[in-house]
């Protein structure tokens, strides 16, 4: 059961979290750094693989699963808030 939770967190939670993080990063790159849209989107997606790998390994390696859950949840929530805020900016 514990292994199932860990695997689910690594694969599903990691994917959702990574998607939120790269969405926020891409929007920040466009809004604040002035990167071109296509470049920010491409760079964000490529970073996604690295971030996802990191999250996966961490959730498998960390003894206290709750720590990963809380951190990942917090970063995902923060990223989604940023996405919402930035999408209100006039493009």
Partner 1 sequence: MNWLHTWSGVVLGSLLFAIFWMGTLSVFDKEIDRWMMPASRLALPAEFSYETMRPAYQAALAAKSPSVLLLVPNERNPVITALWRGTDGAFAQHMFDPTTGAELPDQGTLGGSRFIYPFHYSLNLKVLGLGYWIVGLCGMMMMVLCVSGVVIHRKIFADFFTFRPERKMRRATLDLHNVAGVLGLPFHVVISVSGLVILFSLYFPSSIWAVYRQDVRLFGREAYGSYVRPPARRPADLVSFDTIVAKAKSVWGQGEPNYLYVFHPGDAAAYVQANRSSEDVVSNISHMAYVDGATGELLSASKPEKPAAVTQRFIAGLHFIQFKHWTLRWLYFVLGLAGCVLIATGLLFWVESRRERHRKLGRSGARVVEAVTVASVTGVLIATLAFMVTNRALPLGASAFGVERGAIEVVGFHLVWLLTLLHAWSSGGRAWIGQCWTISALAVAAVLLNAVTTGDHLIRAIVHRQLWPVAGIDATLLIAAVVAACAALRLARSRRVAAVSLQEAGA
State the residues that interact with partner 1 by CB under 8 A: 3, 11, 18-20, 22-27, 30, 36-46, 48-49, 52-53, 56-57, 60-61, 83, 87, 91
Q: If you search the block for the tokens 């292994």, which residue do you land on?
A: 3
**3-state SS, residue 67:** helix
CB of 20 to partner 1, least distance (A): 7
Q: Is the CB of 9 or the CB of 56 nearer to partner 1?
A: 56
Residue 42 neighbours by CB under 8 Å, 6+ apart:
none
Q: Are 87 and 27 in contact (CB under 8 A)?
A: yes
CB of 32 to partner 1, least distance (A): 13
């Amino acid at each position: 059961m514990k292994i199932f939770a860990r695997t689910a967190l690594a694969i599903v939670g990691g994917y959702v979290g990574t998607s939120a993080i790269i969405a926020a990063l891409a929007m920040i790159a466009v809004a604040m750094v002035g990167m071109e849209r296509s470049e920010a989107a491409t760079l964000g997606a490529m970073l996604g693989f690295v971030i996802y790998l990191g999250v996966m390994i961490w959730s498998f390696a960390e003894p206290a699963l709750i720590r990963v859950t809380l951190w990942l949840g917090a970063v995902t929530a923060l990223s989604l808030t940023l996405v919402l805020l930035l999408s209100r900016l006039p493009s």
